[in-house]
């Protein structure tokens, strides 16, 4: 074997990583080649010298500093939470209460405050909530009040993520839908034997700059094949601390959710996320109903051995629609990650 070939084997030979044949080749060659024998010896000496390089001991403060950094970043472990009963959408985090206060103040400027408080009190008494009402209750009450009044002039207080934008411009997908409520539309609904549930994760993150953080969230969504949505909120909302805030949402396939959550922690200190369930059974059933109709039409057309050109074109169109509806089901079951960004102020 030539020196060039043996030269490539000397390093693995030194580590006993050559197979039997290769080892024999090396040993046979170096027995008669002083140059390669010398090279092997140099390698051995060099590896020993590298191995013996001194490394300073880790300073005693390492663990203490690490703990401090972890504590300062307010990191909690992202663990699974098993919710026994499905909850409505909710915002969790320190800044959420400030949103509730700001929304209340904003809404009270245009709504009869007394009615709203009375409604809220009634709900709180009914649900036996603690005196500090959750954001959910406040926002639900505002929505309920607005729906009752049916006043087109009042702004829509909507922090729920928009439904999937599949390009359907019929209008029913352009507003947030309450889970479990069947949107109106054509077709009969066939109840699914299994409920369709998508996960909803909510968290808040303290960031240095909201603008760049939003860009990063969009990038994270893109990297993971997800859909980014900016959640509308009444303008001028600020946290009680006076810092700027922004609510956004990412929808991703469930298998990418953990990766997205981990990437989001790079934005800043994140609060412990809360996990909820979103019942999308009715939406999935509606789409499934359309799928069933299309499949029926496809079967009929395919059963015809003498298809006309029109039939073939129709078949292509139906297959295309079928693909889109199947995609829609996938999108409906996506995990929704709601993120409340709060810009750290100069305090």
The binding site for another protein (CB under 8 A) comprises: 7-8, 10-12, 15, 17, 39, 42-43, 45-47, 49-59, 62-63, 65-67, 69-70, 73, 75, 77-79, 258-259, 262, 265-266
The helix or strand, by DSSP H or E, that contains position 336, with its residue range, turns out to be: strand 335-343
When the beta carbons of 65 and 165 are compared against another protein, the nearer one is 65
Count CB-CB contacts under 10 A for residue 83: 13
- The alpha carbons of the chain give a radius of gyration, in whole angstroms, of 31
When the beta carbons of 67 and 182 are compared against another protein, the nearer one is 67
CA 230, 232, 235, 240: dihedral to nearest 10 degrees? Answer: -80
When the beta carbons of 165 and 266 are compared against another protein, the nearer one is 266
When the beta carbons of 12 and 195 are compared against another protein, the nearer one is 12
> Comparing C-alpha atoms, which of 29, 9, 7, 6 is closest to residue 19?
9
**Whole-number minimum distance, CB 264 to another protein, in Å?**
10
Q: What values do phi and psi take at 205, rounded to 5?
A: -135, 135
**Whole-number minimum distance, CB 11 to another protein, in Å?**
4
Tell me how far CA of residue 293 lies from CA of 33, 139, 172, 320, 328, in angstroms.
80, 38, 20, 14, 15
**Whole-number minimum distance, CB 144 to another protein, in Å?**
37
When the beta carbons of 58 and 191 are compared against another protein, the nearer one is 58
**Whole-number minimum distance, CB 255 to another protein, in Å?**
12
Instruction: Give the distance from CA 270 to its chain's centroid.
Output: 14
**Whole-number minimum distance, CB 49 to another protein, in Å?**
5
């Amino acid at each position: 074997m030539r020196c060039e070939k043996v030269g490539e084997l000397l390093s693995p030979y030194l580590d006993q990583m050559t197979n039997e044949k290769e080892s024999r080749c090396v040993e046979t060659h170096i027995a008669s080649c002083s140059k390669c024998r010398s090279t092997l010896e140099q390698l051995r000496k060099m590896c020993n010298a590298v191995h013996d390089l001194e490394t300073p001991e880790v300073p005693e403060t390492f663990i203490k500093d690490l703990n401090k950094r972890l504590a300062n970043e307010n990191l909690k472990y992202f663990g699974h939470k098993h919710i026994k009963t499905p909850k409505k959408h909710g915002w969790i985090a320190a800044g959420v209460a400030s949103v509730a206060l700001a929304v209340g103040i904003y809404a009270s400027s245009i709504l009869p405050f007394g009615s709203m408080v009375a409604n809220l009190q009634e709900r709180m008494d009914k649900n036996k909530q603690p005196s500090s009402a959750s954001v959910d209750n406040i926002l639900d009450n505002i929505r309920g009040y607005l729906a009752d009044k049916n006043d087109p002039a009042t702004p829509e207080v909507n922090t729920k993520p928009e439904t999937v934008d599949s390009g359907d411009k019929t209008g029913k997908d352009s507003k947030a839908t309450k889970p479990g409520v069947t949107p109106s539309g054509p077709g009969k609904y066939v109840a699914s034997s299994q409920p369709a549930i998508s996960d909803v994760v909510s968290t808040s993150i303290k960031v240095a700059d909201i603008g760049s953080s939003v860009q990063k969230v969009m990038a994270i969504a893109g990297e993971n094949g997800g859909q980014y949505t900016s959640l509308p909120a009444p303008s001028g909302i600020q946290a009680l601390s006076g810092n700027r805030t922004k609510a956004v949402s990412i929808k991703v396939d469930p298998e990418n959710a953990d990766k997205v959550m981990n990437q989001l922690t790079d934005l800043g200190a994140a609060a412990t996320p809360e996990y909820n369930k979103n019942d999308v059974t009715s939406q999935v059933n509606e789409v499934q109903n359309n799928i069933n109709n299309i499949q029926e039409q496809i079967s009929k057309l395919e059963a015809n051995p003498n298809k006309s050109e029109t039939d073939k074109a129709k078949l292509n169109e139906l297959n295309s629609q079928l693909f889109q509806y199947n995609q829609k089901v996938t999108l409906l079951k996506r995990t929704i990650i709601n993120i409340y960004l709060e810009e750290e102020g100069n305090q």
